[in-house]
Amino acid sequence: MTIVAHWFRRLPSVDELLKGTPLPELAASHGRAAVTEAARSELERLRAEIAGGTLSEDGLEVALAGLTAAVAVRVARRVGGSLRPVINASGVINHTNLGRVPLSADALDRVVACARGYSNLEFDLETGERGRRDDHARALLDQLAEREGISGVTGIVVNNNAAAVFLALAALAKGGEVIVSRGELVEIGGSFRIPDIMAQSGATLREVGTTNRTRIEDYERAIGADTRLLLRVHRSNFEIVGFTEQPELSQLVELGRRRGIPVMEDLGSGALLDMERFGIAGEPSLFQSLREGVSLVTASGDKLLGGPQAGLVVGAPDLVAELRRHPLFRALRVDKMCYAALEGTLISYLREKSDQIPLLAMLGRPAEEVERRCRALVDAVPHLPGRVVGTRAVIGGGAAPGKSVASFALALVPTGMSAQALASQLRRQSVPVVARIEDGCVLLDLRTVDPADDAYLTRVLAGLAP
Ligand SMILES: *Cc1c(COP(=O)(O)O)cnc(C)c1O
């Protein structure tokens, strides 16, 4: 341990340090306060290292030579914000940790147009008087429903599907009972658990059946004077296989009609199209549920619909009106940017241009095309220790459990480092690249990468090649 007292004197003062390039320019663009704070922190760190005796004389020289650069990095980190774009090469199409799904160009254009200035968010342009924010998106949803042969339904939008379920339970079942199958008491990541959300809403959970088998008679027997809802929860992120039984939705609807109790379905993903066209079974569309006679459906705007984070509640107008009147609606409502993005997305469906929605474009991309792009990458970076491999890209994000689509990836075989170290190097790029690790290789699955990013990816890989 060497504490060399005179080393401290070699450290510049804050004022001296601030004169070194490029700090004056940084102070002009990022503010003097931010740069001064960063300079102080950097000097303190160095002082602590000297005091701790962890620094060699050479180390001190290197640290002093790199001092202004270290301050610049610290400034960028502190005032650069933390939310940044990344490239999703993980092959998980709907990646909750990476912001679920990209928005379409139409959706983004609308967000920019409506947020750059003022908008008619709550203003009726006909009368010049106050309007209702929840009128937005509704007319588009109504038209989409009508096109599917469903009339007499309406919808509202809240912050996310968790909020939609919470609001519906609070508005329709507080103080009463909600009947749910034991096979549907799901947890959707972290704190969204059906029993907990039920307790918070003030409704009492009435469990029926068993984990693997629930019959329509189980629901019927549980109905009493306090029953407010029959709730069906989509098994979004798991499957029950083997000796199983679950009543058909139509049976629940028939029971509800007979006993005068609405059936609500927490659908989760909110697909608007039949997902079978992408080879994904078991993800009923929102309209399919309504067609079967469910009174109220809740769904996410950003799972299989391909829009912004939002919760859609669509169904019988009298029930939707109760949700709208509930005080929680004010707390869970969405802002103009969400309405703009959602309308932009719904319009693509109405124009039958759903391939312009990035999520659906990714799902629909032929595997051969993905393979061709992988080969082009390998060819562009000849020294790269990589090869093209067939993969399965998964739907992810709490939708379509166990479902995947054929895809291709560039498999990088790390040389002289671990796969984790290579993946970490990819994450440290100016636009971080998120890959997945399999069998000691780093896989870059191009199904989830926008073809427009292939050129950037080529540059990143060229930088890695020995
Ligand atoms: C995903 C999901 C939720 C939560 O939706 P968010 O939009 O993430 O809030 C609730 N219920 C089901 C069945 C889901 O799949």
pTM: 0.90
- Specify whether 371 is located in the same domain as 321: no
Count of structural domains, the chain: 3
| Residue whose pair of structure tokens reads 């303190």 in the numeric block | 44
Residue 159: CB within 6 Å of ligand 1? no
- If you measure from the C-alpha of residue 96 to the centroid of ligand 1, how many angstroms do you get, rounded to a whole number? 11
In this prediction, the residues of the chain whose per-residue pLDDT falls under 70 are 1-3, 190, 465-466
Tens digits of residue pLDDT in 49-64: 999 888 888 889 999 9
pLDDT number for residue 239:
82
- Specify whether 67 is located in the same domain as 176: no
- Alpha-carbon distance of 183 to 445, in angstroms, equals 34
pLDDT number for residue 208:
95
- List beta partners, residue 319: none
> What DSSP state is assigned to residue 245?
B
pLDDT number for residue 169:
97
- Specify whether 122 is located in the same domain as 200: yes
- Specify whether 185 is located in the same domain as 304: yes
Indicate which atom in ligand 1 lies nearest the CA of residue 236: 15
| Domain stops at, among 356, 379, 407 | 356
DSSP helix/strand/coil, 430: coil
The amino acid at 97: N
pLDDT number for residue 3:
65
pLDDT number for residue 14:
95
Neighbouring C-beta atoms of residue 83, cutoff 10 Å: 7
Nearest CA to ligand 1 atom 14: 268
Residue from 161, 297, 312 whose mutation best tests the ligand 1 pocket (most atoms within 8 A of CB) = 161
Residue 189 CA from chain centroid, whole number? 12
- Specify whether 95 is located in the same domain as 216: no
pLDDT number for residue 219:
97
Residue 214: CB within 6 Å of ligand 1? no
Element at 290 (helix H, strand E): helix 286-291
- Specify whether 243 is located in the same domain as 350: yes
| Domain stops at, among 356, 383, 399 | 356
Answer left, alpha or beta for residue 366, where phi above 0 means left and psi between -120 and 50 means alpha.
Answer: beta
- If you measure from the C-alpha of residue 221 to the centroid of ligand 1, how many angstroms do you get, rounded to a whole number? 29
- Specify whether 95 is located in the same domain as 166: no
Q: Are strands 296-300 and 263-268 parallel, antiparallel or unpaired?
A: parallel
Residue 308: CB within 6 Å of ligand 1? no
Residue from 269, 286, 300, 395 whose mutation best tests the ligand 1 pocket (most atoms within 8 A of CB) = 300
- Specify whether 233 is located in the same domain as 265: yes
- If you measure from the C-alpha of residue 461 to the centroid of ligand 1, how many angstroms do you get, rounded to a whole number? 36
Concatenated DSSP letters for 377-410? HHHHSTT--EEEEEEEEE--SSSSTT-EEEEEEE
Residue 307: CB within 6 Å of ligand 1? no
- Specify whether 352 is located in the same domain as 409: no
Nearest CA to ligand 1 atom 3: 268
With both helix axes pointing from N to C terminus, report the angle between 161-173 and 317-325 in degrees, rounded to the nearest 10: 100
Burial level of 330, CB count in 10 A (0-12/13-18/19+)? exposed
Residue 90: CB within 6 Å of ligand 1? no
- If you measure from the C-alpha of residue 305 to the centroid of ligand 1, how many angstroms do you get, rounded to a whole number? 13
Residue from 169, 188, 267 whose mutation best tests the ligand 1 pocket (most atoms within 8 A of CB) = 188
- Specify whether 342 is located in the same domain as 369: no
pLDDT number for residue 465:
64
pLDDT number for residue 460:
95
C-beta of residue 270 within 8 angstroms of C-beta of residue 144:
no
Q: What is the CATH number of the domain that holds 209?
A: 3.40.640.10
Residue 266: CB within 6 Å of ligand 1? yes
Domain hosting residue 336, numbered range: 105-356
| Domain stops at, among 300, 323, 356 | 356
pLDDT number for residue 340:
98
Residue 162: CB within 6 Å of ligand 1? yes
pLDDT number for residue 397:
74
- Specify whether 407 is located in the same domain as 297: no
- Specify whether 149 is located in the same domain as 280: yes
Q: What is the CATH number of the domain that holds 405?
A: 3.90.1150.180
